[in-house]
Amino acid sequence: MKKIESNILDSIHDGVMVVDTDSTIVYANPAYTRSFGVPVNKVLGRKLSDIEANSRVLEVLRTGKPIVDDPSHVESVGIDIVANITPIYQAGTMVGAVAVFRDVTEVMVLKDLTTRYFSELQQLRTQLLSMDNLVLDSPQMLRVVELIQRVAMVDSTVLITGESGVGKEMVAKLIHRTSERKDGPLVVINCGAIPENLLESELFGYEKGAFTGANPQGKPGMLEVASHGTLFFDEIGEMPLSLQVKLLRVLEEQRFTRVGGVRPVEVDVRFLAATNRDLMYMVKQKTFREDLFYRLNVVSVNIPPLRERKKDIARLVRVFLHKFNLKYHLNKRITPEVIRYFEDSYSWPGNVRELENIVERMVVSSPNETITLGEEVLTDYFTRPGSEEARVVVSGLMDIRQARALLERDLIQKAMEVCGSTRSAAKALGMDHSTVARKAKKYGYERVMAED
């Protein structure tokens, strides 16, 4: 073989062997000799028929037909290979054959590992699904959970963001429960619920006699209570600036000093924080420390609002319905029409918390076993002032009388869809029942009127 061709074949990861027409081995590359455990000088010049009487290479030499992707197990060295064997022709005459062998043993090992890791991932996902009310029907929440699974394995500080009611505290619980700190405590401190003058002593604790009214024996703070576990700062944007610099030092040094104390206390704590506020904007307004923001925002987990993941609504409704049926010893059902309305006709400004509240309200307030779209509890809720910002969109100019007629038609249509009857629609629109009934008939709602 030419030297340049030999150099190229020597660098190939797959094993390559070339034989002439009488099966004499004229070339074998290093990958071949490594796979089969024989030095080159032991194979070059030998007849393959003497080494391996049943070799598929001999079959190609006999038939002149190539063999593609032929799997086999080499018992002598305990490896699985896939071979591609091709006859070599010159001027129309076969002069030998080339065999390329791929050792697939490593591939099989990696495949087994992939299968095992996928199974473990599915088990972890199942565990996550069983916690609280986590719903994974939407692609957005699937991505969130995949990120949770990754960050739970490390001790990085995590900043959880999202609108009020999306479930930020639930995500913090999931991170803790699937982390190596799951056997330690999860301590939650709501920065917006504790008065500013008490927040420091609650967080750091205090020594005896630190201030008037203090416990005579002193008191450990939440940092000490959370040691070897997780400390979750909910509503971190509400933390006063005076305390932010002290928290920053704890994040950097894992040590602090109690109020009224002089001796530093070391802790081993993982920190999580959550906010529904724009901390970057607060940094620009000088109401939140920039250094603390970047120290908290090592990993960011953003929970999308419910209006952006409406595929989750149907299962969330079932989860909440089951929860409140158990709680109140009831057996209520919700019709698909109600769920479709939830998905298509409302933006859920209160997010998952609002959805949970309305399901509980339906369960306890409805006199019926089956809750339908015409329930008074629903019509009162979704037509109350401020329940949803209503807008009239003007896309062009038209006669004002024609515009009034179109608006009236659309409003009555919407009220009938939401309320299900002319009587409930009239109440929602602030109109007389007879007027709504007449106009509903005009717009083709005779069937609904008959059921009123």
Q: Would 129 be classed as within a structural domain?
A: no
350/295 same-domain check? no
Q: What's the CA gap between 256 and 250, in Å, rounded?
A: 6
Name the 3-class secondary structure at 271.
strand
Q: What's the CA gap between 236 and 196, in Å, rounded?
A: 13
> Per this entry, what is the length of the chain?
452
Contact between 233 and 274 (Cβ < 8 Å): yes
Contact between 175 and 274 (Cβ < 8 Å): no
Helical residues (DSSP H) of 345-375, grouped into ranges: 351-365
Q: What is the CA radius of gyration of the chain?
A: 36
- Structural tokens at position 327: 């709680």
280/323 same-domain check? no
414/344 same-domain check? no
Number of C-beta neighbours around residue 115 at 10 A: 10
291/314 same-domain check? no
CATH code of 199's domain: 3.40.50.300
Its domain, for residue 334, covers 308-382
162/234 same-domain check? yes
Q: Would 389 be classed as within a structural domain?
A: no
Name the 3-class secondary structure at 232.
strand
Residue 233: per-residue pLDDT? 95
190/144 same-domain check? yes
Residue-wise DSSP of 52-120:
-TT-HHHHHHHH---EEEEEEEETTTTEEEEEEEEEEEETTEEEEEEEEEEE-HHHHHHHHHHHHHHHH
For helices 433-442 and 400-419, give the axis angle rounded to 10 degrees. Answer: 100
Residue 327: per-residue pLDDT? 94
Name the E strands within 235-393. Answer: 255-257, 264-266, 269-275, 299-302, 333-334, 370-371
351/254 same-domain check? no
- Is residue 216 packed enough to be buried (19+ CB in 10 Å), middle (13-18) or exposed (0-12)? exposed
Q: Would 73 be classed as within a structural domain?
A: yes
Residue 145: per-residue pLDDT? 85
Q: Which conformational region is residue 98 in: left (phi greater than 0), alpha (psi within -120 to 50 degrees), or beta?
A: beta
Instruction: Please name the residues in contact with 342: beta carbons below 8 A apart, sequence gap of 6 or more.
Output: 313, 317, 348, 355
Q: What's the CA gap between 417 and 29, in Å, rounded?
A: 76
**Do the strands 15-20 and 186-190 form a parallel or antiparallel pair, or are they unpaired?**
unpaired
Q: Would 109 be classed as within a structural domain?
A: no
Q: Would 68 be classed as within a structural domain?
A: yes
Domain boundary residue, one of 276, 302, 328: 302
pLDDT tens, the chain, 452 aa long:
555 555 667 667 788 889 999 999 988 888 887 777 777 777 888 888 877 777 889 999 999 999 998 888 777 667 788 889 999 999 889 999 999 988 777 666 666 666 666 666 555 555 555 455 566 678 888 888 889 888 988 999 999 999 999 989 989 998 998 899 999 999 999 998 888 878 888 898 887 766 655 566 678 889 999 999 999 999 999 999 989 999 999 999 989 888 877 788 899 999 999 999 999 999 999 999 999 999 999 999 999 999 999 999 998 999 999 999 999 999 999 999 999 999 988 889 889 999 999 999 999 999 999 999 888 888 778 766 555 545 555 555 667 777 777 788 878 877 776 666 777 777 777 788 788 888 887 777 654 444 44
- Is residue 202 packed enough to be buried (19+ CB in 10 Å), middle (13-18) or exposed (0-12)? middle
3-state helix, strand, coil in the chain (%, to 5): 50, 20, 35
* Count of structural domains, the chain: 4
- Paired strand residues for 259: 206
CATH code of 314's domain: 1.10.8.60
Torsion, Cα of 384, 385, 390, 392 (10° steps)? 120
Domain boundary residue, one of 302, 325, 352: 302
20/35 same-domain check? yes
277/312 same-domain check? no
Residue 400: per-residue pLDDT? 78
Contact between 248 and 295 (Cβ < 8 Å): yes
87/220 same-domain check? no
Q: Would 394 be classed as within a structural domain?
A: no
Q: Which conformational region is residue 342 in: left (phi greater than 0), alpha (psi within -120 to 50 degrees), or beta?
A: alpha
Q: Would 368 be classed as within a structural domain?
A: yes
The DSSP secondary-structure symbol of 263 reads: S
CATH code of 90's domain: 3.30.450.20
Domain boundary residue, one of 287, 302, 317: 302
315/272 same-domain check? no
Q: Would 27 be classed as within a structural domain?
A: yes
73/154 same-domain check? no
CA distances 322 to 75, 346, 370, Å, are: 59, 22, 14
Residue 449: per-residue pLDDT? 45
